[in-house]
Structure 1
Amino acid sequence: MDKERAQRFMHKVIGDVATTLSGALVLVGDSTGLFRAMAGAGPLSADEVAQRSGVHPRYAQEWLGAMTCSGYVEHDPATDRFELPDEHAMYLTDPQSEAWLLGMFTGLPAMMAMAPRLADAFRSGGGVPFAEFGEALPVALEQMNRSVYESRLVRTWLPAVPAAVERLQAGGRAIDVGCGTGVVPLLLARAFPQASIEGLDLDARSIAIARSYAEREGLQDRVRFVNASAEALSGQPGYDLVTTFDVVHDLPDPLGVLQRIRGALAEGGTYLMVEPKVDDLLEKNRENPFGRMLFAISCLHCVPQSLAQGGPGLGACWGPTRARELAAEAGFSHFAVLPVRSPAMAFYELRA
């Protein structure tokens, strides 16, 4: 028995428990406005934080202690004052900023609550349907991605497929398969007013939310949202651009969907597949700061909801080699990894 190794592992386990519990307090800090109250304010006493945020002083004091120990907030023992550094606030306070990371916490309660149900699935080999993760999950998933999509989709990502951009500018057709609450189709509609834009998703709640967003933005006549599976894809007329964002690995029939997407493309059309950015080798993903998070999300959500549909449970960490192989099996003649800079997402260009 290596006692030092055992001691290190014990510290890791305690650290993991602390991280999990701190995640709940990060959510509280967001919902109560504590982070926003501290942003740009410099060093504050616990009472001043309470006053600025409107929370009870005793809770403010204990929360500040927890956030100090977790490294979110800094504490000066000489003055007993707390500060949220600008370098931290940029990730915690502005939902419109692409740097905002608090959206990643919003799905945690629903996923954690499924642990007992997931344990049963582990034993039976079954899955957990998407709907069972709760009514709040569609918006939670949206909040994990919206700010980055709004900042990057049109300005940075689409220029990597210039032929598709030219077609949309000329009034072409595009569809986002697995569109969720409609963020991508609505962004496309705003950027390409002459184009015909659609969003397709099997989840009725997500489509209802997407339609409400379209009405709110005055785009209900510009974007068509369809509550259906990928079997509803039609190649008549074909699409100049088909997109999937973080979708393929969740599907019950990834090969069949890619075959339908290929058949739905117009001649010369582009399929933009975006998937989690991971390495094919597990040991390389241990070095990736996103690897731990992606594997956890995959095990908690991606694999069980695919298995629940009778799918293969590819999982979020299926990697570029299997993506290339699946594309070839589906009949695509062109597969390229696009030079889009992203720490968490891989961008693949496919053509028939």
Structure 2
Amino acid sequence: MDKDKSTRFMLKVVGDVATAMAAGLLLVGDRAGLFKQMAGAGPLGASELAERAGVRVRYVEEWLAAMAGAGYVEYDATSDRFTLPDEHAQFLTDPGSEYYLGGLFGSLPGLLAMAPKLAQAFQTGSGISFADFGSELPQMLEVMNRPVYEARLVQHWLPAMPEVMSRLQAGGRALDVGCGTGVVPITLAKAFPTATVAGIDLDAHSIDIAQGYARDAGLAERVHFAAQPIEHLTAQPRWDLITTFDVMHDLPDPVGAMKRMRAALNDGGTYLMVEPKVADDLETNLGNPFARMFYGISCLHCVPQSLAQGGLGLGACWGEKRARALAAEAGFTRFERLGIRTAGLVFYALGQEPAEAA
């Protein structure tokens, strides 16, 4: 046995557990308001931070030590004070910012709580339903996605498809499949006041939340939500734009879903499929921090909830090559990777070539 290799691995496991604990303490710091109080405040001692946040100083002392050890805050031993750099604060303090990562660490308790059930599923081959992950998960996913979608969807992403923009501006029809709490449909309805917009999702709890948001925004008459699976999508009425955002790999039958969406598109309509941005092969993905995170989320959530529906369990890291193959199997003759640059998402525009559409 290589003792040095063994020691390195032991230290890696200890470090990984320390990182997992620090990620949990990110959530604590977020909910206790500690990051917000540190942002822009310069160096602070534990007692100063505790007073600013209105919390107990002993907890803050230990929390700051953990955050400094994880590299999330900076520590000056001479003054015994801690600083949250602006470069870190942008990801931790403003839920309305597209850079806020609160949804990532906020979802960890629900995901990790499934570990015992997941271990059982490894033995039985059964899945874990979306609802089993808890009632907080829909809004944790919303926290993760809302700021990005609201800032980017209409202003940056849709302009990559000028025909789609023109159709929606002229009163076209848009459907978001797997809409969750309704962020995408409501954002589209606000941007295109003459368009017809709808969203469907398998999770009734998510749809209830979405309907509440639509009422609050005064859009209940214009945005329609339904708790239904993709298998119930009919070919009428037809749509100019159908979207899935980080959804296709979760569905039980991706090819069947794409066939239904293709049949429901108007002539010249577009299906926009947004998926995790990963390579086609594991070796390349191992060097990508986003891909490594996606593999973890996929094993904890994506695969088991697809299997719970009797599905394929495609997984989040399926890559462009397989996406193209499944789209072709579903009958799409146009598959374009859009030139939209993001760190973690890839955008595919699917449709029919004009000659075939005719």
TM over 0.5: yes
Partners in 2 of 1:301 and 1:160 — Cα distance?
31
Residue in structure 2 matched with residue 46 of structure 1 by the alignment: 46
Partners in 1 of 2:67 and 2:196 — Cα distance?
47
Residue in structure 1 matched with residue 323 of structure 2 by the alignment: 323
Matching of residues 1-352 of structure 1 within 5 Å:
1-352=1-352
Question: Offset of 1:273 from its aligned partner?
Answer: 0.3
Question: Offset of 1:45 from its aligned partner?
Answer: 1.1
Partners in 2 of 1:24 and 1:66 — Cα distance?
11
Question: Offset of 1:134 from its aligned partner?
Answer: 0.7
Partners in 2 of 1:281 and 1:233 — Cα distance?
33
| Cα-to-partner distance string for 1:52-71 (whole Å, 9 max, x where unaligned) | 01110111111111100010
Task: Tell whether the 8 Å contact from 1:235 to 1:266 is kept in structure 2 after alignment.
Answer: no
Partners in 2 of 1:235 and 1:127 — Cα distance?
30
Q: Secondary structure at the match of 1:63?
A: helix
Question: Offset of 1:233 from its aligned partner?
Answer: 2.1
| Structure 1: unaligned runs, 5 residues or longer | none
Partners in 1 of 2:223 and 2:102 — Cα distance?
29
Query: Scaled by the length of structure 2, what TM-score is found?
Result: 0.97
Query: What amino acid is the match of 2:262?
Result: R
| Structure 2: unaligned runs, 5 residues or longer | 353-358
Partners in 1 of 2:5 and 2:143 — Cα distance?
39
Pairwise CA RMSD: 0.8
Partners in 1 of 2:251 and 2:233 — Cα distance?
15
Q: Secondary structure at the match of 1:59?
A: helix
Query: What amino acid is the match of 2:233?
Result: L
Q: Secondary structure at the match of 2:289?
A: coil
Q: Secondary structure at the match of 2:36?
A: helix
Question: Percent identity between the aligned chains?
Answer: 62
Partners in 1 of 2:44 and 2:22 — Cα distance?
21
Question: Offset of 1:126 from its aligned partner?
Answer: 1.0
Question: Offset of 1:231 from its aligned partner?
Answer: 2.6
| Cα-to-partner distance string for 1:17-58 (whole Å, 9 max, x where unaligned) | 001111111100000000000000001111100000111011
Matched pairs, number:
352
Partners in 1 of 2:234 and 2:124 — Cα distance?
37
Question: Offset of 1:236 from its aligned partner?
Answer: 2.5
Query: Scaled by the length of structure 1, what TM-score is found?
Result: 0.99
Q: Secondary structure at the match of 1:290?
A: helix
Partners in 2 of 1:225 and 1:237 — Cα distance?
15
Partners in 2 of 1:99 and 1:138 — Cα distance?
19
Question: Offset of 1:299 from its aligned partner?
Answer: 0.1
Residue in structure 1 matched with residue 355 of structure 2 by the alignment: none
Partners in 2 of 1:17 and 1:317 — Cα distance?
24
